[in-house]
Amino acid sequence: FLFFVCCRALIFPLLIREGKPTPFFTFVLALLFCVFNGYLQGRSLTTYATYPPDWLGGSRFIIGFLGWLIGMAINIHSDHILRNLRKPGETGYKIPRGGMFEYVSGANFFGEILEWFGFALACCTIESLAFALCTLFILGSRARQHHK
């Protein structure tokens, strides 16, 4: 979880070429959501969640971890494709090709949704499920808009 947040918050913005500026209010809302969600996930895992000694070898954790890992790989690869759609100075709409974009029009969204449902399965907490569902509803609606 921490690795993803660091990639999304620190590395990803440095890799973006030119783009539209983000409105300050949107930035503040995103920041508040990430801080609150990070606290909620960390607090639930360190204070309230209890797992049996063999949890890390169990099928729920392994399948969830693999879902998270595959989702992250899809997300990172899809972001790479999107960042390299246009040459410097080029504008206009382009349809992404390659990777999961051959199967779904919002491959980056699909990867992130898979990632957080995998996380929820691996953790089995109500907080991780709530985050996965929020991700599904928010990114699912964005994916639908992008598809249209």
Distances (CA, A) of 38 to 7, 129, 144: 14, 14, 27
* Strands of 38-95, DSSP E: none
- State whether the Cα torsion 125-137-95-92 is positive or negative: negative
Q: pLDDT (tens digit, 0 to 9) for every residue of the chain, 148 residues total?
A: 556 555 655 566 656 666 667 788 887 888 888 889 889 999 999 999 999 999 999 999 999 999 999 999 999 999 899 888 878 777 777 889 999 999 999 999 999 999 999 999 999 999 999 999 999 999 999 888 888 8
